[in-house]
Structure 1
């Protein structure tokens, strides 16, 4: 867990800045007004008009996608900003890791031979987010400078 989220504005900020900060928003559970309860949900969208939020989109453990009006949510338990490799929801973790590995592979191919700071920093963020073991097992060729300087940060 990176940190606890305090409200929908925090959740919206993490989702909007996912590429910059990495990770995703996961909650222990969400209970709807109808009484339905879902465990280990990953919030994937928070929609509003700028002043107020009116829908929340999330994926449950079975992989179903729900869009729920804010008035239909009774409670969200323990929403946290979590590294992708630490997501408890297996369906979403697999999906997000595959998506980020594809992005990392394209990023490394496009910037092959580059040692520019923004590229190296983005590769480091991606590795921190999806885990070094996942990257190593994927066969993606990482920049030589990154490996020589041992700048790969460990996941805390």
Structure 2
């Protein structure tokens, strides 16, 4: 888990900057005012009108996409920014992993032979999002440190 979400503004920031920060916003439980509850709902959109949040889009564990007015939200519990590989919503995890791996493959194809700092930063974000082992299964990443290297700690 990267961090807890404290409100709509945090959700909006993560969603709007998804490519730069990676991950996704997942709520442990989202309850509507009508009483319907959705576990592990992944927030995909948060729309504004006249500088106020007006609607929220999310995907349920069954893959159902819902858009509701923010006034219809009764409670969003345990909202957090997580890496895609850590999503509890399996349907959305599969979708997001496939999307991120496609992006990673294409990025590596376009930058073949060139290892610029912006390219490395974007690859690092994608690899953190999907997991190093999963990324290495699909793309050759020789410039990334291997998980086998041990960390040297200097004492004095």
TM, length-normalised to structure 1: 0.91
1:125–1:70: structure 2 CA closer, same or farther, 3 Å change rule? Answer: same
Secondary structure at 1:100's aligned position in 2? helix
- Give me the whole-angstrom Cα distance separating, in 2, the residues matched to 1:24 and 1:38: 17
Q: Deviations over 1:70-114 (max 9, x none)?
A: 111100001000011100000000100000000000000000011
Is 1:40–2:40 an aligned residue pair? yes
- Give me the whole-angstrom Cα distance separating, in 2, the residues matched to 1:50 and 1:83: 31
Q: Deviations over 1:4-62 (max 9, x none)?
A: 11100110000001111110000101000111000000000000125100000000000
Secondary structure at 1:92's aligned position in 2? helix
The equivalent of 1:141 in structure 2 is: 140
The equivalent of 2:16 in structure 1 is: 16
- Give me the whole-angstrom Cα distance separating, in 2, the residues matched to 1:117 and 1:97: 24
The equivalent of 1:96 in structure 2 is: 96
- Give me the whole-angstrom Cα distance separating, in 2, the residues matched to 1:50 and 1:131: 38
RMSD of the alignment, in Å? 1.5
Q: For 1:42-61, what aligned pairs fall within 5 Å after superposition? A: 42-61=42-61
The equivalent of 2:77 in structure 1 is: 77
- Give me the whole-angstrom Cα distance separating, in 2, the residues matched to 1:31 and 1:55: 15
The equivalent of 1:119 in structure 2 is: 119
TM, length-normalised to structure 2: 0.91
Structure with max Cα Rg:
2
1:19–1:50: structure 2 CA closer, same or farther, 3 Å change rule? Answer: farther
Q: How many residues align?
A: 148
| Unpaired stretches in structure 2, ≥5 consecutive residues | 148-156
| Unpaired stretches in structure 1, ≥5 consecutive residues | none
